[in-house]
Structure 1
Amino acid sequence: MRTEELQQEIREYAKEIGIDKIGFAAADVFSELKERLRRQQELEYQSGFEKGSIEERTEPQRLLPEAQSIISIAIAYPSRMKNAPKSRKGERRGLFARASWGLDYHDVLRERLEKLSAFIQEKVPDAVNKVMVDTGELSDRAVAERAGIGFSGKNTSIITPEFGSFVYLGEMITNIPFVPDSPVEDSCGDCRKCMDACPTGAIVEGGQLNAQNCIAFLTQTKGFLEDEYRFKLGNRVYGCDTCQQVCPKNKGIDFHIHPEFEPDPEVSKPKLIPMLRISNREFKEKFGPLSGSWRGKKPIQRNALIALGHYKDETAVPEMIEVMKNDPRPVIRGTAAWSLGKIGTEEAFAAIREAMELEKDDQVLFEMEKGLEFETLTITN
Structure 2
Amino acid sequence: MKEARPIAVTLNLDAPAGDWLRLREEIRAAASSLGIDKIGFALADPFLTLKDRLIQRRENGYDCGFEEKDIDKRTHPELLFDAPLSIIAIAVAYPTRLPDPPRSEPGASRGIMARSAWGLDYHTVLRDRLGKLEAYIRERIPEARMESMVDTGALSDRAVAERAGIGFAGKNCSIITPEFGSYVYLGEMITNLPFAPDEPLEDGCGDCTLCLDACPTSAFVKPGVLDANRCLSFLTQSKDEIPDEFKDKMGNRLYGCDTCQIVCPKNKGMNWTHHEELAPDPELVKPLLEPLLTIGNREFKEKFGSGAAAWRGKKPIQRNALLGLGKFRDRKALPLVAQVLAEDPRPDIRATAVWALERMGGPEALEALDRAVLHDSEELVRKRAAESLARLKSE
Q: TM-score, normalised by structure 1?
A: 0.97
Matched to 2:341, the amino acid is M
Report if aligned partners of 1:91, 1:271 keep a CA contact under 8 Å in 2. yes
Bigger Rg, structure 1 or 2: 2
Report if aligned partners of 2:111, 2:253 keep a CA contact under 8 Å in 1. yes
Residues 286-326 of structure 1: per-residue CA shift (max 9 Å, x gap)? 11111011100001100100110000000000111111111
Give yes or no for the alignment of 1:78 onto 2:60.
no
Give yes or no for the alignment of 1:353 onto 2:374.
no
Greater mean deviation of Cα atoms: 283-292 or 6-15: 6-15
Cα offset, 1:121, TM superposition: 1.4
Aligned ranges 1:286-297 → 2 under 5 Å: 286-297=303-314
The CA distance in 1 between the partners of 2:217 and 2:87, in whole Å, is: 35
* 1:67 corresponding residue in structure 2: 84
Matched to 1:285, the amino acid is E
* 1:132 corresponding residue in structure 2: 149
Cα offset, 1:184, TM superposition: 1.2
Cα offset, 1:12, TM superposition: 2.5
* 2:105 corresponding residue in structure 1: 88
**Of the candidates 313, 325, 348, which is equivalent to residue 342 of structure 2?**
325
Report if aligned partners of 1:335, 1:367 keep a CA contact under 8 Å in 2. no
* 1:9 corresponding residue in structure 2: 26
Residues 337-380 of structure 1: per-residue CA shift (max 9 Å, x gap)? 22111111211111111232221101111221233244146x2x
* 1:146 corresponding residue in structure 2: 163
Matched to 2:285, the amino acid is S
Q: Which runs of 5+ in 2 are unaligned?
A: 1-10, 12-18
Matched to 1:284, the amino acid is K
Aligned ranges 1:142-181 → 2 under 5 Å: 142-181=159-198
Cα offset, 1:260, TM superposition: 0.8
The CA distance in 2 between the partners of 1:49 and 1:275, in whole Å, is: 25
* 2:289 corresponding residue in structure 1: 272
Greater mean deviation of Cα atoms: 39-48 or 6-15: 6-15
Matched to 1:160, the amino acid is T
The CA distance in 1 between the partners of 2:135 and 2:109, in whole Å, is: 47
Residues 151-192 of structure 1: per-residue CA shift (max 9 Å, x gap)? 000000000001100000000000001011111111101111
Report if aligned partners of 2:373, 2:383 keep a CA contact under 8 Å in 1. no
* 1:199 corresponding residue in structure 2: 216
The CA distance in 2 between the partners of 1:192 and 1:369, in whole Å, is: 42
* 2:44 corresponding residue in structure 1: 27
Aligned ranges 1:186-265 → 2 under 5 Å: 186-265=203-282
Matched to 2:288, the amino acid is K
Q: Which runs of 5+ in 1 are unaligned?
A: none
The CA distance in 2 between the partners of 1:52 and 1:6, in whole Å, is: 36
Matched to 1:69, the amino acid is S
Cα offset, 1:329, TM superposition: 0.8
Matched to 2:60, the amino acid is L
Matched to 1:370, the amino acid is E
Matched to 2:155, the amino acid is L
Question: Is the alpha carbon distance of 1:374 and 1:268 closer, same or farther for their aligned partners in structure 2, counting shifts above 3 Å?
Answer: farther
The CA distance in 1 between the partners of 2:285 and 2:387, in whole Å, is: 31
Give yes or no for the alignment of 1:39 onto 2:64.
no
* 1:303 corresponding residue in structure 2: 320
